[in-house]
């Protein structure tokens, strides 16, 4: 039996627990998700290093999964735009059962290996693209079909599974095992297996964006200020990075469509917004290099 399906020996009487003990059992078990992602650190670093040149060459991040794993794929892909201004068309999520499966379980969709291949082929995957394949069990047919099609098209394939020796990690160029073990509720991989997948995807995509110059220091200077909260955040980040007061920061941001990178360079270099954009273009969008340019 797969580890993720094996009943937990730690909590055989879960249904008898008093509420504080029940809450504690769920919370404490999540620590194994952190440990699993930490153990996979070398493989995650390998994955980022392999993906970087393909993405720099214009490739896309394409995610594939089913059920909870598929929904986590969608979540990671969607959040890259507001956080890093990553183009939506360069972060695509494929979920077994289609968009409907985000909200309603589409029974049997994960068992259709041919559909996984068709979905990947349908987005015209190519050699510059990176497929991120997720399957808690590690044997989801839909995900295996997606991997097969992606490898056939020359894309980089990276697979995440929560069981050792999983078919999906064996089928990918880079396999990442998140060994979270049995769940508190037997087989419910929406628990710590899902938490580990979320952390691993966050780590991978955030590290990739840092390497692409989307971060200055530890500040998210390439966010898309698309709502009131993010507009306030853009002002705060600009103030933090430059030492400018709120009025100065807001004035420059208003002249550059609230692009924090541009405002930071303009204020720190004491140049116009247009000159700041040119410096960033010459530095391939990297704030630190634009500030240090002669």
Could you tell me the two tokens for 117?
Answer: 């291949």
Query: Which residues, in sequence order, are CB contacts of 187 under 8 Å at separation 6+?
Result: 4, 5
Q: Write down the catalytic residue from 79, 107, 148, 246.
A: 79
H helices present in the chain, as ranges: 19-29, 31-39, 41-56, 67-84, 113-122, 141-152, 167-171, 192-211, 228-242, 246-255, 260-269, 273-282, 287-292
What does the alpha-carbon distance between residue 18 and residue 273 come to, in Å, rounded to a whole number?
Answer: 61
Neighbouring residues of 78: CB distance < 8 A, sequence distance ≥ 6: 91, 93
Q: Which two tokens stand for residue 241?
A: 């990075």
100 is catalytic: no
Rg (CA), the chain: 22
CA distances from 145 to 13, 69, 89, 115, 158 (A): 39, 15, 22, 7, 14
Q: How many Å apart are CA 132 and CA 76, to the nearest integer?
A: 11
Annotated catalytic residue, options 110, 148, 164, 274: 110
Q: Which residues, at least 6 apart from 281, have a Cβ–Cβ distance to it below 8 Å? A: none
89 classed as catalytic: no
d(CA 62, CA 119) in angstroms, rounded, equals 11
Would you please indicate which residues are annotated as catalytic (active-site) residues?
A: 79, 110
């Amino acid at each position: 039996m797969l580890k993720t399906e094996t009943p937990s020996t730690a909590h055989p009487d879960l249904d008898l627990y008093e509420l504080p003990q029940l809450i504690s059992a769920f919370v404490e078990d999540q620590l194994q998700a952190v440990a699993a992602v930490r153990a996979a650190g070398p493989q995650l670093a390998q994955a980022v290093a392999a993906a970087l040149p393909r993405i720099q060459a214009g490739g896309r991040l394409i995610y594939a999964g089913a059920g909870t794993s598929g929904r986590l794929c969608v979540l990671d892909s969607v959040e890259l735009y507001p956080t890093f201004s990553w183009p939506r068309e360069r972060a695509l999520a494929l979920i077994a059962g289609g968009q409907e499966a985000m909200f309603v379980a589409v029974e049997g969709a994960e068992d259709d290996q041919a559909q996984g291949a068709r979905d990947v082929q349908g987005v015209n995957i190519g050699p510059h693209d990176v497929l991120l394949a997720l399957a808690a069990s590690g044997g989801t047919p839909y995900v295996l079909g997606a991997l097969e099609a992606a490898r056939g098209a020359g894309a980089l394939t990276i697979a995440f599974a929560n069981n050792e020796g999983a078919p999906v990690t064996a089928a990918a160029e880079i396999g990442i095992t998140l060994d979270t073990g049995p769940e508190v509720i037997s087989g419910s991989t929406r628990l710590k297996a899902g938490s580990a997948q979320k952390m691993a995807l966050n780590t991978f995509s955030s590290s990739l964006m840092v390497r692409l110059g989307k971060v200055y220091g530890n500040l998210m200077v390439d966010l898309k200020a698309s709502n009131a909260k993010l507009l306030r955040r853009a002002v705060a980040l600009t103030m933090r990075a430059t030492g400018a007061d709120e009025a100065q920061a807001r004035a420059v941001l208003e002249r550059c469509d609230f692009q924090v990178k541009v405002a930071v360079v303009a204020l720190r270099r004491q140049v116009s917004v247009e000159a700041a954009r040119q410096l960033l273009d010459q530095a391939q969008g990297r704030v630190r290099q634009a500030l240090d340019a002669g």
